[in-house]
């Protein structure tokens, strides 16, 4: 029986995600949550204390610790690069929150840094780990559904506004933009993962229509892929107040030999309670894909190579390129544009 | 005001004609007196269900002193038939799409503007009970300012059309003109704003090119809409609608998977699903039309609306051809 893999959390700016990954590490049989860092002590403690691990103020000291072999990076998106480069320089493997970065240059530098260090760079796309997505992937790989003709997919959420959410998420210099970059990368990644195709053309409409968030809260992206598959993605922060759920993910796919309609909202029980806010709530009971993803990351590090279906830094870069192409399209009258490749 | 029993002639005897005939029959004070189809046996079959006369042409129907003509033929024949009936002073309910080309749609529009008769386009979605409920909620302010809309109609390839005209894109315009035209009309109506820009992407299936389509529409108000249409789905999946209207104050949404009127299971294995929608949309559409005819107007779905829905669908086709969005503030067809 080998020692559990020591993993640290580097940055808690994506607090709900950092917390969820920390929980997965704390309850893992193969990993050990060593410590948590964030420049903001209150935020760092809010995660570290919940799992009874130290809060560390100095990121460099943390990745230098002989106990830390891997890190989970959840800093603001524009600061991912600094944390990933720091981790790589100290030989740490990285699971990086999505979107991987706000620029193609940063993402490419993160890939180069981990490549040079001989460490793994994973990007957190938990949707790949949903059991129903894995079933679709198996069916597609087996040819059961034929060639994918078209996909309509969505990942909608509540607006990530203060005070519940930190201001950086709606600050383009830190986050890269609004709903489009925040949620479309999940959907683009899933599309690439399921079809094995790359996106060749993107058209997008965006709008700041709902929340006065200072960034776009509504977006629709149309994609054309290398294998003639087309897709329309809805990454909007369009979940209204009092909605019975907070986030959704859905995928409706049609292939030449069959179709799939799936969502993660119907896997829930209905609740109405005098103690739980207004009206109906749908309380999900899905398996936690975050935990499955973190386990797969740990497993990849222990095995010395990424295991299926983990997403790589390149996967993160590709979905970022599509999001950035979406912004260029939206700024240019919704014209179709090609995603710029880093190569 | 028209007090007497209204006499109706239906041109066309296909699938939609049957819906019209049954809806008129369910409407008080209306009588279907004739059904016309170039294939007389087909006309006879439908006419016999309501004791109407079978004819082979619109001329024969007009000679029977009808007050109302329902045009239920393939879209490329709509302009000739509708203009002829309107010119003869008859009220016309013209199936959607109002026409298959902007030129034809323009002829119908011009005729409707030069007449006092009621000319209505059969955008039945506006009369489907769940669509109507949603429109009333939006109008009631429950959604606030409309921002995001989804209208998705997905099914397998239609097999019922005479000679397969529906699946011939030259004759039907494919799913954009057959299915999405409903969506374009409904979304513009529900958000109360004109479409200003559209782009589309499409995929090919075994049943034809561009038989899976998603169009993205931008509206004058800033709202946007995602319109999906498919003939590429398996037959076993049936016909599914998914609709969402989201605004600054809330969301109204529904889909056919969650609308269920009950089910009856028999020991011998038979199962009957109670469809709560059925043909209520057609009954509502025809009732509104007949009411408008009696009241002397206005048209419940004016030709202007049908023209705009068809123009949006044709512009989406143009986007597929050019690979770029189409500016609807200026686009007047190819």
- In this predicted model, what pLDDT tens digit does every residue of B40-59 receive, in sequence order? 999 999 999 999 999 999 99
Q: Choose, out of A209, A217, A245, A332, the residue to mutate when testing the contact with B (most B CBs < 10 Å).
A: A209
| For B226, nearest residue in chain A (alpha carbons) | A220
Q: What is the pLDDT of residue A278?
A: 78
Q: Determine whether the interchain pair B212/A207 forms a contact, defined as Cβ–Cβ distance below 8 Å.
A: no
Mean pLDDT in residue range A150-160:
96
Q: Is B182 on the interface with A (CB under 8 A)?
A: no
Q: Is B82 on the interface with A (CB under 8 A)?
A: no
**Helix A104-117 crosses helix A80-89 at what angle (to 10 degrees)?**
10
B141, two tokens: 């302010």
CB-nearest to B201 from A205, A230, A252 is A230
Q: Choose, out of A212, A216, A334, the residue to mutate when testing the contact with B (most B CBs < 10 Å).
A: A334
Q: Determine whether the interchain pair A230/B246 forms a contact, defined as Cβ–Cβ distance below 8 Å.
A: no
CB-nearest to A236 from B148, B242, B323 is B148
Q: Determine whether the interchain pair A203/B199 forms a contact, defined as Cβ–Cβ distance below 8 Å.
A: yes
Q: What is the pLDDT of residue B163?
A: 87
- State phi, psi for A139 to the nearest 5 degrees: -65, -40
Residue B201 CA: distances (Å) to CA of A53, A146, A335, B167, B176: 50, 20, 12, 19, 11
Q: Is B235 on the interface with A (CB under 8 A)?
A: no
Query: Which residues 87-146 of B are in CB contact (within 8 Å) with A?
Result: 145
A312, two tokens: 């790589």
How many Å lie between the alpha carbon of A232 and the closest alpha carbon of chain B? 7
Write out chain B residues lying below 8 Å of A187, CB-based.
none
Convert B27-38 to b/e letters by CB count within 10 Å (16 or more is b): beebbbbbbbbe
Q: What is the pLDDT of residue B1?
A: 47
Q: Is B252 on the interface with A (CB under 8 A)?
A: no
pLDDT in tens, B229-288: 999 999 999 999 999 999 999 999 999 988 888 889 999 888 888 888 889 999 999 999
pLDDT in tens, B56-112: 999 999 999 999 999 999 999 999 999 999 999 999 999 999 999 999 999 999 999
pLDDT in tens, B200-228: 999 999 999 999 999 999 999 999 999 99
Mean pLDDT in residue range B149-178:
91
Q: Choose, out of A178, A230, A233, A326, the residue to mutate when testing the contact with B (most B CBs < 10 Å).
A: A230
A-side interface with B, Cβ within 8 Å?
149-150, 152, 201, 203, 205, 207, 209-210, 218, 220, 222-224, 228-232, 234, 236, 238-243, 252, 254, 256, 258-259, 261, 333-336
Of B172 and B148, which is predicted with more confidence?
B148
- What ipTM was predicted for this assembly? 0.92
Mean pLDDT in residue range A26-45:
96
Q: Determine whether the interchain pair A222/B200 forms a contact, defined as Cβ–Cβ distance below 8 Å.
A: yes
Q: Is B151 on the interface with A (CB under 8 A)?
A: no
Of A231 and B334, which is predicted with more confidence?
A231
* A157 within 8 A of A211, measured Cβ to Cβ: no
pLDDT in tens, A71-121: 999 999 999 999 999 999 999 999 999 999 999 999 999 999 999 999 999
Q: What is the pLDDT of residue B33?
A: 98
Write out chain A residues lying below 8 Å of B145, CB-based.
209
pLDDT of A343 higher than 50: no
Q: Is B223 on the interface with A (CB under 8 A)?
A: yes
Q: What is the pLDDT of residue B139?
A: 98
Q: Choose, out of B153, B204, B214, the residue to mutate when testing the contact with A (most A CBs < 10 Å).
A: B214
Distance CA B185, CA B189 (A): 6
Q: What is the pLDDT of residue A162?
A: 84
Q: Determine whether the interchain pair A228/B204 forms a contact, defined as Cβ–Cβ distance below 8 Å.
A: yes
Mean pLDDT in residue range A333-343:
83
Q: In 3D, which of A167, A166, A164, A163 has the Cα closest to residue A214?
A: A167
**Token pair 């739980």 in the structure block, residue:** A276
> What is the interface size between A and B, counted as CB pairs within 8 Å?
122
Percent of chain A at pLDDT > 70 equals 99
* B158 within 8 A of B167, measured Cβ to Cβ: yes
Q: Determine whether the interchain pair B145/A224 forms a contact, defined as Cβ–Cβ distance below 8 Å.
A: no
Q: What is the pLDDT of residue A329?
A: 98
Distance CA A205, CA A334 (A): 6
Looking at the DSSP assignment, which residues form a beta bridge with residue B198?
B217, B326
3-state secondary structure of B270: coil
| For A332, nearest residue in chain B (alpha carbons) | B325
Percent of chain A at pLDDT > 90 equals 92
Q: Determine whether the interchain pair B148/A259 forms a contact, defined as Cβ–Cβ distance below 8 Å.
A: no
Distance of CA A86 to the CA centre of its chain: 21
**Token pair 């009127």 in the structure block, residue:** B261
Planar angle of CA B253, B258, B260, nearest 5 degrees:
125
CB-nearest to B224 from A205, A229, A258 is A205
Q: What is the pLDDT of residue B92?
A: 98
Distance of CA A21 to the CA centre of its chain: 12
Mean pLDDT in residue range B282-311:
98
At A341, the pLDDT band (50, 70, 90 cuts) reads low
How many Å lie between the alpha carbon of A221 and the closest alpha carbon of chain B? 8
- Report CA Rg, chain B: 20
How many Å lie between the alpha carbon of A246 and the closest alpha carbon of chain B? 13
Q: Determine whether the interchain pair B232/A254 forms a contact, defined as Cβ–Cβ distance below 8 Å.
A: yes
| For B212, nearest residue in chain A (alpha carbons) | A150
Judged by average pLDDT, the poorest of A50-59, A305-314, B138-147, B171-180 is B171-180
Mean pLDDT in residue range A200-207:
98
Residue A236 CA: distances (Å) to CA of A14, A180, B216, B286: 18, 7, 14, 38
pLDDT of B160 higher than 90: no
**Sheet of A218-225, strand order:** A199-207, A218-225, A230-234, A148-157, A247-255, A258-263
Percent of chain B at pLDDT > 70 equals 99
- Report CA Rg, chain A: 19
Q: What is the pLDDT of residue A342?
A: 43
Write out chain A residues lying below 8 Å of B202, CB-based.
150, 230
Helix residue ranges per DSSP H, chain B = 15-25, 40-48, 58-63, 78-87, 102-113, 129-139, 169-172, 174-175, 181-191, 280-295, 303-322
Paired sense of beta strands B271-273 and A218-225, if any:
unpaired
How many Å lie between the alpha carbon of B205 and the closest alpha carbon of chain A? 6
Distance CA A120, CA A63 (A): 15
At B172, the pLDDT band (50, 70, 90 cuts) reads confident
What is the residue-averaged pLDDT of chain A? 96
Distance CA A42, CA B102 (A): 63
Q: Determine whether the interchain pair B199/A243 forms a contact, defined as Cβ–Cβ distance below 8 Å.
A: no
């Amino acid at each position: 029986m080998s020692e559990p893999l020591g993993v640290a959390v580097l940055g808690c700016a994506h607090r709900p995600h950092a917390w969820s990954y920390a929980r997965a590490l704390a309850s893992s049989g193969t990993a050990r949550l060593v410590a948590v860092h964030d420049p903001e002590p209150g935020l760092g403690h809010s995660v570290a204390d919940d799992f009874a691990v130290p809060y560390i103020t100095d990121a460099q000291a943390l990745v230098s610790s002989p106990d830390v072999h891997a890190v989970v990076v959840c800093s603001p998106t524009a600061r991912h690069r600094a944390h990933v480069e720091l981790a790589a320089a100290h030989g740490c493997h990285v699971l990086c929150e999505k979107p991987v970065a706000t620029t193609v240059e940063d993402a490419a530098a993160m890939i180069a840094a981990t490549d040079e260090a001989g460490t793994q760079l994973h990007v957190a796309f938990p949707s790949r780990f949903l059991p129903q997505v894995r079933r679709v992937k198996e069916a597609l790989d087996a040819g059961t559904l034929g060639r994918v003709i078209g996909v309509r997919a969505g990942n909608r959420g509540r607006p990530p506004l203060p005070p519940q959410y930190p201001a950086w998420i709606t600050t383009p210099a830190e986050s890269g933009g609004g709903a489009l970059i925040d949620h479309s990368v999940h959907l683009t990644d899933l599309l690439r993962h399921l079809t094995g195709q790359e996106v060749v053309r993107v058209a997008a409409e965006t709008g700041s229509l709902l929340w006065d968030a200072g960034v776009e809260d509504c977006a629709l992206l149309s994609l054309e892929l290398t294998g003639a598959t087309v897709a329309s993605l809805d990454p909007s922060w369009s979940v209204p107040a009092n909605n019975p759920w907070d986030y959704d993910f859905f995928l409706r796919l049609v292939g030449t030999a069959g179709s799939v309609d799936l969502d993660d909202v119907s896997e829930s029980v209905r609740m109405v309670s005098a103690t739980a806010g207004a009206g109906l709530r749908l309380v999900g009971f899905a398996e936690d894909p975050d935990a499955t993803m973190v386990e797969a990351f740990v497993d990849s590090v222990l095995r010395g190579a990424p295991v299926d279906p983990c997403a790589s830094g390149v996967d993160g870069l590709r979905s970022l390129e599509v999001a950035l192409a979406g912004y260029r399209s939206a700024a240019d009258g919704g014209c179709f544009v090609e995603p710029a490749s880093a190569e | 005001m028209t007090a007497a029993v209204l006499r109706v002639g239906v041109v066309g005897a296909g699938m939609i004609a049957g819906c019209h005939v049954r809806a008129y029959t369910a409407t008080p004070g209306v009588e279907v007196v004739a059904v016309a189809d170039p294939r007389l046996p087909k006309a006879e079959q439908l006419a016999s269900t309501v004791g109407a006369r079978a004819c082979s042409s619109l001329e024969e129907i007009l000679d029977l002193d009808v007050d109302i003509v329902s045009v239920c033929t393939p879209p490329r024949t709509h302009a000739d038939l509708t203009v002829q009936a309107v010119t003869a002073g008859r009220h016309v309910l013209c199936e959607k799409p109002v026409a298959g080309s902007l030129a034809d749609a323009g002829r119908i529009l011009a005729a409707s503007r030069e007449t006092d008769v009621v000319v209505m386009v059969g955008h039945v979605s506006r009369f489907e009970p769940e669509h109507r409920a949603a429109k009333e909620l939006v109008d009631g302010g429950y959604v606030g300012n409309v921002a995001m809309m989804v209208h998705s109609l997905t099914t397998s390839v239609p097999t019922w059309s005479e000679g397969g005209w529906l699946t011939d894109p030259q004759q039907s315009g494919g799913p954009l003109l057959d299915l999405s035209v409903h969506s374009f009309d409904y979304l513009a109506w529900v958000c109360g704003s004109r479409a200003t820009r559209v782009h589309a992407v499409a995929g090919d299936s075994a049943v034809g090119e561009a038989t899976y389509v998603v169009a993205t529409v931008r509206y004058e108000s800033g709202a946007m809409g995602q319109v999906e249409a498919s003939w590429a789905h398996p037959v076993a999946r049936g016909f599914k609608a998914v609709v969402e209207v989201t605004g600054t104050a809330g969301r109204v949404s529904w889909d056919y998977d969650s609308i269920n009127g009950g089910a009856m299971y028999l020991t011998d294995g038979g199962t009957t699903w109670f469809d709560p929608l059925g043909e209520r949309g057609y009954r509502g559409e025809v009732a509104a039309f007949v009411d408008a005819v009696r009241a002397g107007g206005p048209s419940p779905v004016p030709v202007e609306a049908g023209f705009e829905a068809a123009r949006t669908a044709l512009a989406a086709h143009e986007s597929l051809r050019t690979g770029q969005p189409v500016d609807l503030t200026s686009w007047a067809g190819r």
